[in-house]
Amino acid sequence: MTFHTRRLPFVSLSGLLSVSLMASSIQAGTSDDVIRDAMNEASESERIFNDHITVLSSPWMEGRLPGTQGMEYARQYVEYWFDRAGLEPGWPTPDTEDASWRQPFQLGSKREFEGQRLVSRLGEDEHAFELATDYELTGLGTSGEVDGEMIFVGYSIKDGPDGYESFPEDLDLSGKVAIMLRFEPMDEEGNSLWNDRRWSRYSTFSRKFDAIADRNPAAVILVNTPGAKDSRVDTLTRDASSVIDGIPVFMMSSEAAAKLIEKHDSEGRSLAELRRLADAGTTIVELDGTIEGGGEIREEPMYAENVLGVLPGRGDIADEWIVIGGHLDHLGYGEFGSRRGAGRLHPGADDNASGAAALMMLGESLREAYDELPEDAGARSIMFAAFDAEESGLNGSRYYVRNPPHDLEEISLMINFDMIGRVSGDRLSITGAESAEGMELWLDPLFEKSGLEIVKQDGMRGGGSDHASFYQQGIPVLFAICADFHDDYHTPDDTPDLIYRAAGVKTVELFHEIALEAATREEKLKFASPSDSSGRAGPTRSRALRVRLGIRSRQLPDGAGLEIVNVNPGSTAEEGGLEEGDVIKKWDKNPLETRSDLVSNLAELKPGDEVQVVIDRDGEEIVKFLKMKAPGG
pLDDT of residue 578: 94
Cα dihedral sign for 213, 186, 140, 142?
positive
Would you tell me the crossing angle of helices 354-371 and 69-84 to the nearest 10 degrees?
20
Residue 352: cis peptide before it, omega within 30 degrees of 0: yes
Distance CA 600, CA 615 (A): 18
CB-hemisphere CA count at 13 Å for 76? 9
Encoded amino acid at 106, one letter? Q
pLDDT of residue 604: 86
User: How many whole angstroms from its chain centre is CA 438?
Assistant: 34
From the list 440, 468, 442, 473, the residue with the least C-alpha distance to 456 is 440
Distance CA 594, CA 601 (A): 11
Which residues does residue 249 pair with via DSSP β-bridges, in sequence order?
220
pLDDT of residue 309: 98
**Is-contact 387 325, C-beta < 8 A?**
yes
DSSP 186: B
Angle at the Cα of 89 (from 350 to 95), degrees rounded to 5? Answer: 130
**Is-contact 56 353, C-beta < 8 A?**
yes
Architecture of the domain defined by 13-108+301-520: 3-Layer(aba) Sandwich (3.40)
Instruction: Spell 129-168 as b/e; 16+ CB within 10 A means b.
Output: beeeebbbbbbbbbbbebebbbbbbbbbbbebeeebebbe
pLDDT of residue 530: 56
95: left (phi over 0), alpha (psi -120 to 50) or beta: left
Instruction: Please spell the DSSP secondary structure of 568-579, one letter per residue.
Output: -TTSHHHHTT--
pLDDT of residue 462: 58
Cα dihedral sign for 395, 609, 332, 99?
negative
Question: What 3-state class would DSSP assign to 215?
Answer: coil
Radius of gyration from C-alpha coordinates of the chain: 28
From the list 287, 357, 288, the residue with the least C-alpha distance to 327 is 357
Question: What 3-state class would DSSP assign to 490?
Answer: coil
The yes or no reply on domain 110-298 and CATH 3.40.1380.20 is no
The CATH code for residues 551-627 is 2.30.42.10
The ranges assigned to domains in the chain are 13-108+301-520, 110-298, 551-627
Query: If the chain, 633 residues long, is cut into consecutive pieces of 10 residues, what is the mean pLDDT of each piece?
Result: 38 39 44 85 95 98 96 98 97 80 93 96 96 97 97 97 95 97 96 90 93 97 96 90 94 98 96 98 97 96 96 97 98 92 96 98 98 96 98 96 96 98 97 96 97 90 85 96 94 97 98 98 89 41 78 88 92 94 92 90 90 89 92 79
Residue 87 sits at φ, ψ, to 5 deg, of -80, 165
What is each CA distance from 622 to 228, 428, 556, 569, 625, in whole angstroms? 21, 30, 18, 21, 10
pLDDT of residue 554: 92
From the list 503, 504, 436, the residue with the least C-alpha distance to 476 is 436
